[in-house]
Amino acid sequence: MVTCKKTTKSFLIIKIMIFLLIIANATVILLPMEIYSAGSGSNGDVEMEVKAGFNGTARLGSYIPYRVLLVNKGMTVNGEVQIEVKIDSEHKSIISKPVSLPEGSVKEIVINAPVFTARRAVKIRFTEGNKIIKEMEYSFSKLIPPDMKTIGVLSSDNSAYSFLNGAMILQPIDSMYAEKIGLMRAAGVYSAASVATVEDAILDGAISKTESVLISLTDESLPEDIKVMRSFDILIISNYDTGTLSEQQLETLEKWVEEGGTLVLGTGANWNKVYNSLPQSLKKFSITNTVAIKALDELEKFTGASFDSNFSLNIISGHIGFDYENPEGKQSEGERLGDQSEEQLQKEQVEEQQTEMQENKEQTEEKQSEQQSEEVQILFSPDINEIIIGSGDLPLAVKYIHGYGRILFLTFDPGMEPVASWRGRQAFWENLLFHSSINSNNIYERGAGYYYSNYNSMYYRSLSEQVPEDRKPPFLFM
């Protein structure tokens, strides 16, 4: 009996041990995700930093770059970066890009995605399968309303153009676009642009007075993606080596102008840095030489502001590339300046300076002050190649039509003296940019603070019909 009881007790102990072992194994099997997560990228193993837009600035209704920096301090992770895009108040989508993070690696992932609303922060995730490794919400430091003009600048000293931030640009509205806006308003889709009717026989219609925002660019931040480039209305390149730009950036620049963008090219003494590496189609002006001039009356007339001192201005000479009839009715091919010798040029400049000095003597300080305060009358800017400032013999600013866009070519560098510190520089730029394209990307509001452009509205409207807010959004893989 004793032996039997001991045997029965031993079997009972063995059964209990087997049961506990089964429970322990079951626990391990039931918790694989926790063990996997800890070994290949828990929240502590993967760090994520995000920079978006252009120094935290984005234009509503446009695509912007998200730069996501991932630092993996754990084991290898194969996952994807996700940007959640709010399409409207009821729908959303996710744009994602796969990424492999080896152990101890650091990678920057760039995803271009649209910003349709300022109502919410943007959710950004790094996932592995169905597991969220890291998640954060990104808030922009500045969101630009669609009715403001965006001006990008590429220069050796971008700060020289900082005064353009907030500049007011007058722009005529063509009749076809105005009619389109009218139809959109009737359908409940209205333009965000402010329109002011001007009683002016020359303008004969409506113009929009638009505030501008300046965005400083570098060779790294100039977009390669045309969708991102479309967020700019105007791009200024002056005293900048375009040879540092990639082939894709230059192709995008060319396409952007063709679609309706305005490219402002400053040249002067450093013209070859700006000009040599540009696509051939954007090089409308044939440069032959550089000269210095002291007669700046054409610039003064254009702005209504005189120069304080008797400075000389370095300009390039050459052929404008088209026949031009100046206001006096004399036709010019824009070639005389390039063909003249330096002696001839100097002789003409001396004569012009003497005439100017005589005229200045006859003017009083009071008249000069009145001249500075006079409002300059700006004519309508038609879709034709023309000289904006100067003449065929001495062009200072030339407008070229390129596709649906425009090139505003300056024969001098506006970021250098005497223009850089000139009190007429603000008026110069505002009057010059009046000649910018009116065919640039038009962004409109489609209710409840959500903005769309002509390029993306149809696609996302179709997508939003399929993706309600309370359901899992689809993925757009890049």
User: Could you report the per-residue pLDDT of 303-355, keeping only the tens digit for each?
Assistant: 999 998 888 999 999 999 987 665 555 454 444 344 444 555 555 555 665 56
The pLDDT of residue 146: 82
Where is the domain boundary, 143, 173, 193? 143
For residues 335 and 426, membership in a common domain is answered with: yes
Q: What is the CATH number of the domain that holds 412?
A: 3.40.50
In a domain, 34, yes or no: no
The total number of structural domains in the chain stands at: 2
- pLDDT (0 to 100) of residue 100: 94
Residue 285 shares a structural domain with residue 408: yes
Clarify whether residues 264 and 358 are in a common domain: yes
Domain presence at residue 472: no
Let me know whether 124 and 162 are in one domain. no
- Residue 352: CB atoms within 10 A of its CB come to 16
Listed in sequence order, the residues at least 6 apart from 299 whose beta carbon sits closer than 8 Å to its beta carbon are 307, 389, 396, 419, 424, 428
Question: pLDDT tens digits, residue range 58-80?
Answer: 998 899 999 999 999 999 999 99
Query: Domain check: are 155 and 65 in the same one?
Result: no
Single-letter amino acid, residue 123: K
| 282 falls within a domain | yes
Please give the Cα distance from 349 to 327 (Å, whole number): 21
pLDDT averaged over every residue in the chain: 77
In a domain, 136, yes or no: yes
Q: Which domain holds residue 122?
A: 46-143
Tell me whether residue 227 is in a domain.
yes
Q: Which of 91, 115, 143 represents a domain boundary (last residue)? A: 143
Residues 117 and 176 in one domain: no
How far apart CA 200 and CA 167 sit, in angstroms, is 22
Q: What pLDDT, on a 0 to 100 scale, did the predictor assign at position 295?
A: 87
- Predicted pLDDT at 88: 75
Predicted local confidence at residue 375, as pLDDT = 45
pLDDT for position 234: 97
Note whether 115 and 232 are same-domain residues: no
pLDDT in tens, the chain (478 residues): 444 444 455 556 655 665 555 544 443 333 333 222 233 344 568 999 999 999 999 998 899 999 999 999 999 999 999 999 888 777 788 999 999 999 999 999 999 999 988 777 899 999 999 899 999 999 999 998 888 899 999 999 999 999 999 999 887 665 555 555 455 445 544 343 333 333 333 344 457 778 999 999 999 999 999 999 999 999 999 999 999 999 999 999 999 999 999 999 999 999 999 999 999 999 999 999 999 998 899 999 999 999 988 889 999 999 999 876 655 554 544 443 444 445 555 555 556 655 655 565 455 444 444 444 444 455 567 889 999 999 888 999 999 999 999 999 999 999 999 999 999 999 999 999 999 987 655 665 666 666 666 655 444 444 444 334 444 444 444 4
User: What residue type is 268 in one-letter code?
Assistant: G
Same structural domain, 52 and 184: no
The pTM assigned to this predicted structure is 0.74
**CATH number of the domain residue 76 falls in:** 2.60.40.10
> Are 293 and 421 part of one and the same domain?
yes
Query: Could you report the per-residue pLDDT of 385-423, keeping only the tens digit for each?
Result: 999 999 888 999 999 999 999 999 999 999 999 999 999
Nearest to 164 by CA among 436, 458, 370: 436
Of 143, 161, 196, the residue at which a domain comes to its end is 143
Residues 109 and 201 both lie in one domain: no
What's residue 47's pLDDT? 94
In-domain check, residue 223: yes
- Tell me: do 327 and 197 sit in the same domain: yes
pLDDT reported for residue 315: 96
Residue 197 pairs in a beta bridge with 206
pLDDT above 90 as % of the chain: 52
In a domain, 441, yes or no: no
In a domain, 239, yes or no: yes
Look at the block and give the residue holding tokens 């005439």: 355
Shared-domain flag, residues 294 and 417: yes
